Every structure is written in structure tokens, then in C-alpha cells.
């Protein structure tokens, strides 16, 4: 077992899902830890969806303690850490956070994040970043890209080291300045802010202008029926541009 900054760390050859492997490491070290893998065979997304891999991409999971009432804040924080990481490697590209915590590069999905509950106060934050290849995905929900598509030459472990630094820094800033700091940074970098969006959830659609985030990190939409606060769902571009 190695270390990255203050995190215990393991890099595996292959695993079904790093979100499961990090729980095994946590049971051994009983402290915040990170597991990544060169190959992930059964990567998962939200709601039972699949996360597709390709050679050279990053699959990584962090296990750390989060107070239950702050989960929404950490969901945003994780997306911002990935956003800053992608910006480090692609400084002139358009990089945005798409609610709740996808990261888009030039309008296409480059990263997805999955939070799952661990033991006690621990949560698992699983992050996939398309580094070296754009994987084949059947009927993707959004267009997909990778750092390699922008001719960025790097490797998954370099990306991971930068990601850990950004995550640690943002977490420290959040602990010092509170949610207002995250909210401002998130809104400055939000995909489709001020534009029409559709949130799909369980076959239900809500359309409105993406205006804000509330204190609990819910999305605030301005709709024909007034302001709506959205807790979960998938965000798509709206029809009334
Ligand atoms: C996510 O789910 O975007 C969360 C993905 C989290 C993956 C990481 S990898 C490390 C850790 N271990 C795991 O097992 N998981 C985490 P969701 O918002 O539900 O989006 C899933 C959808 O994104 C799929 O249905 C596809 O349409 C699309 N997709 C699948 N693979 C993709 C990829 N590599 N790049 C971009 N989009 C992808």
C-alpha cells in the first residue's frame, strides 16, 4: 500500500469496480484511501447504468468521511475537482460542470462520478475520466469525448495526482469558507447556466431556466409555474433556447 498526499493508495491491475475495491482497502487501513485500476471490467454509473472503459483511462474511487447533511455539497465539490483537473490538462478548452456532477469538455461528457454509501460515516466517490481513449458506448445519453480527442498526451496516474491535489485544495477551501465558495465556483462553470434545460427523472420532465443552486445543492429552475428546486435527475439541453 502506497500514499498519495495523505491518502492511502493502491493501483490494481484489474477489478470489476474500483468502488468495491476501495471498501476492501478501507477495511484494512481504516482511514481515507484511494484505489484505482488499469482495467475496470464492470464499471457502474447511477441507476444501474454502465460505465464503459478503454485502455489508459482513469477509474478511481476515494473513501472518506462525509457528514450526512453535506453529501450534496461534496457531490458538487467532486465535479469541481474534476473540472479543475481537466482545465489543468486542457487550459484553453471549454470545460463545464453539468449538474449534478458530470464534467463536459467542449460540450461532450469526459467524466462521470458515482457516490455510494460506505460503512459508518464513510462514502465512496468513484470517478471515471476518459484520458487516453474515447470508449465505445451504445446509445450514449450524451456525446462522449476524452483528453486524447483534444490531443492531450498524458497518462491516468498523472491525471490522478493532479485530481488529488485539486480535491484536497477545494475541500480545504470549502471547510474554511463554506458552501458559498463552492456555489459561486460551480455557477461560474455551469453547463447551460441561464439557459433552458430539461431535467428527466423517472419518466417525468421538468423544463426551466437554470438559475441557481440552493443551500442544499439542489438545482434551482425558473419555470412557467414558478421556481422549482430539483434534487435528482438527468439534465439535458432545453427546447426553448
Ligand atoms: C456516471 O453515471 O456518469 C457515473 C460514472 C462513474 C464511473 C466511475 S469509474 C470508477 C468508479 N467505479 C465504478 O464502478 N464507477 C465509478 P451516469 O450519470 O449514470 O452516466 C452513465 C451514462 O454515461 C451511461 O448510461 C452512458 O450513456 C454514458 N457513459 C458510459 N460510459 C461512459 C464513458 N466512459 N464516458 C462518457 N460517458 C459514458
pLDDT of 125 reads 98
Task: Tell whether omega for the bond before 100 is within 30 degrees of 0, i.e. cis.
Answer: yes
Determine the average pLDDT of the residues in 27-51: 97
Residue 166 has pLDDT above 60, yes or no: yes
| Per-residue confidence (pLDDT) for residue 6, from 0 to 100 | 95
Does 21 contact ligand 1 (Cβ within 6 A)? no
**What whole-number percentage of the chain has pLDDT above 90?**
97
User: Would you say residue 241 has pLDDT above 60?
Assistant: no
Which residue has the least CA distance to atom 16 on ligand 1? Answer: 126
- What CA–CA distance (Å, rounded) separates 94 from 106? 5
Task: Check pocket membership of 156 for ligand 1, CB cut-off 6 A.
Answer: no
* 89 in contact with ligand 1, CB cutoff 6 A: no
pLDDT value, residue 239? 79
d(CA 47, CA 114): 10
pLDDT for the residue 103: 98
Give the helix/strand (H/E) hosting 93. none
The reported pLDDT for the residue numbered 1 is 84
Q: Reduced to 3 states, what is the DSSP secondary structure of residue 153?
A: coil
Give the mean pLDDT of 198-219.
95
Measured between alpha carbons, how far is 73 from 128 in angstroms, rounded to an integer?
Answer: 19
In this prediction, residues 136-159 reach a mean pLDDT of: 96
Domains and CATH numbers, the chain: 2-188 (3.30.930.10), 196-237 (2.30.30.100)
Distance from the CA of 226 to the center of ligand 1, in angstroms?
33
Alpha-carbon separation of residue 132 from 92, 129, 232 (angstroms): 19, 9, 30
At residue 124, φ and ψ (nearest 5 deg) are: -110, 130
**Mean pLDDT within 110-128:** 98
pLDDT at 240 over 80: no
Maximum Cα–Cα distance across the chain: 55
Quote the cell numbers at residue 200. Answer: 428527466
> pLDDT averaged over the chain?
96
216-238 pLDDT, tens digit per residue, is 999 999 999 999 999 999 999 99
- Dig out the grid coordinates for 29 from the structure: 487501513
Digit-coded pLDDT (tens) for 54-104? 999 999 999 999 999 999 999 999 999 999 999 999 999 999 999 998 999
Amino acid at each position: 500500500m502506497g500514499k498519495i498526499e495523505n491518502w492511502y493508495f493502491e493501483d490494481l491491475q484489474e477489478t470489476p469496480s474500483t468502488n468495491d475495491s476501495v471498501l476492501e482497502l478501507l477495511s484494512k487501513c481504516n482511514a481515507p484511501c484511494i484505489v484505482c485500476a488499469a482495467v475496470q471490467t464492470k464499471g457502474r454509473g447511477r441507476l444501474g447504468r454502465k460505465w464503459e472503459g478503454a485502455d489508459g483511462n482513469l477509474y478511481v474511487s476515494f473513501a472518506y468521511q462525509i457528514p450526512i447533511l453535506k453529501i450534496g455539497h461534496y457531490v458538487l465539490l467532486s465535479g469541481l475537482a474534476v473540472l479543475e483537473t481537466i482545465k489543468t490538462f486542457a487550459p484553453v478548452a471549454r470545460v463545464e460542470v453539468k449538474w449534478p456532477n458530470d464534467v463536459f469538455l467542449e460540450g461532450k461528457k469526459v467524466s462521470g462520478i458515482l457516490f455510494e454509501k460506505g460503512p459508518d460515516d464513510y462514502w465512496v466517490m468513484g470517478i471515471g475520466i476518459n484520458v487516453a481513449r474515447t470508449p465505445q458506448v451504445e446509445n450514449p445519453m450524451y456525446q462522449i469525448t476524452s483528453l486524447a480527442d483534444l490531443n492531450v498526451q498524458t497518462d491516468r496516474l498523472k491525471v490522478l495526482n493532479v485530481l488529488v491535489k485539486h480535491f484536497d485544495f477545494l475541500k480545504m477551501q470549502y471547510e474554511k469558507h463554506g458552501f458559498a465558495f463552492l456555489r459561486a465556483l460551480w455557477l461560474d462553470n455551469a453547463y447551460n447556466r441561464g439557459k433552458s434545460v430539461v431535467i428527466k427523472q423517472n419518466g417525468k420532465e421538468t423544463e426551466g431556466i437554470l438559475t441557481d443552486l440552493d443551500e442544499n445543492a439542489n438545482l434551482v429552475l425558473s419555470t412557467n409555474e414558478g421556481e422549482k428546486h430539483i434534487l435528482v435527475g438527468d439534465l439535458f439541453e432545453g427546447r426553448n433556447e
